[in-house]
Each structure stands twice: as structure tokens, then as C-alpha cells.
Amino acid sequence: MYRKLIFASIFVAVLALASAPVQADTLTVNDVLFTATVTPGTVTLTVQCTDMSVCGGYFLGDVGLKGFTFTGLPSNITEPPNYAVQNGGTNNGTGGCNSTQLNMAVCWALTLPAPAGDQLSNGTLTFEAGIANGLVGTDGLHLQVTAWDDPHETPGTRVFAISNALNGGNITVPEPGTMALLGAGLLSLVGFGRRKITS
């Protein structure tokens, strides 16, 4: 009986270690909360204004995320209107997707003028792309984005230009598949225990 319990425990531990983790990082600038998540199959960035009196009127420009690698080309899953995902990064500080750092960054390029849906007063904006073999580097995730007070950017005023590591809440959590496997392993332990009680 003890041999079965030890084997089941080792099995659960191996499954948990073998499953790829999710890397999630956050950054807050001018009351705008950025949360980025990279898994082996997806890259996701959410943008939320936490104080409408400060950032409710902001419009985002091009959005870039780097600090990870992947293979192939990123594929569209979802983004606000007038954005399109591209392979590669952005121009530091000035925005603009420029196809640098291929397979080490993704950029969501905006076609101007920004639509009303791009304004941060409309709630959480979600940018998500499909990737293959996504893996976060040791330096963590890095965000490059500009925000404007006008949907046309020019002659509007740029309210911020970010080229920052997302380090406000760096966490690594198991993927849902890992949790399911862990749960199955724990249930098997319960089953072993019940067999001993009933025999």
C-alpha cells in the first residue's frame, strides 16, 4: 500500500514539473494597468484604466510585447478594432511596429484613426495572439506602448511612451492542464486510501 502511495506522489510531482508554467506580469503607469501572460500557445495583454478621471480619455497607439520566444508566425485571436498582430517588436519610445526581433516579440499595429473602442474609458482592452512553443526568457516580459489624448495621435498630445519591464506582479502559476493533472493525481491518492479502509 505504501509503495502505491509513494508511486502516486512521485507521479503527481513529475506531472506538475513537466507541465509548462504560465508567465504573468503586470505594470501600472498613469493609472493604466497592463497585464501580460505568455503560455506555450498564447500571448495575451490586457489594458485597463483604473481611474477614469486620469486615463479614461487615453487612446492607445501600437502595442508591443517582448521577452519571450516562439516559432512560426503569431496568429490573430482577438484585439480591439483596427489592430492587427504582427511578428516582431516596436520602435523604442516612439511606437510603431517595425518587425525587429522576429520570433522574440509580437506587436499589435493600429491603423489610424483609433476607433472609439480603443479609448480606455470603454473597459478592459484585450490583445491576444496564438503562438507556438512560447517560452519566457530569464529577463521577464517587456512592454512597449504609447498612449495619446486624441484618436488621430497627431495633432494630439502623447501622454506616455512606455518601454518597461512588467515587474509589478511577476508570478508563475501552473496552467489549467497542470492543475487538472494534479487534481487527478490527488483523486487517485484518495482512491488508494479508500481501498485500504474497505479491505
pLDDT tens-digit profile, the chain (199 residues): 555 544 444 444 434 433 444 566 888 888 889 999 999 999 999 999 998 888 888 888 889 999 999 999 999 999 988 899 998 888 665 567 887 888 889 999 888 777 666 678 878 899 999 999 988 887 788 888 888 887 776 667 888 888 888 765 433 333 444 444 434 444 444 454 555 555 5
In whole angstroms, what is the distance from residue 114 CA to residue 135 CA?
A: 31
Could you read off the pLDDT of 113-155 as tens digits, one per residue?
776 666 788 788 999 999 999 888 877 888 888 888 877 766 6
With residues binned 3-state (H G I as helix, E B as strand, rest as coil), the percentages for the chain, rounded to 5, are 25, 45, 30
Q: pTM (2 decimals)?
A: 0.71
Kindly report the backbone phi and psi dihedral angles of residue 180, in degrees, each rounded to the nearest multiple of 5, phi listed first.
-65, -45
In whole angstroms, what is the distance from residue 171 CA to residue 166 CA?
A: 11
Q: What residues contact 188, with CB distance under 8 A and at least 6 apart?
A: 8
DSSP 114: P
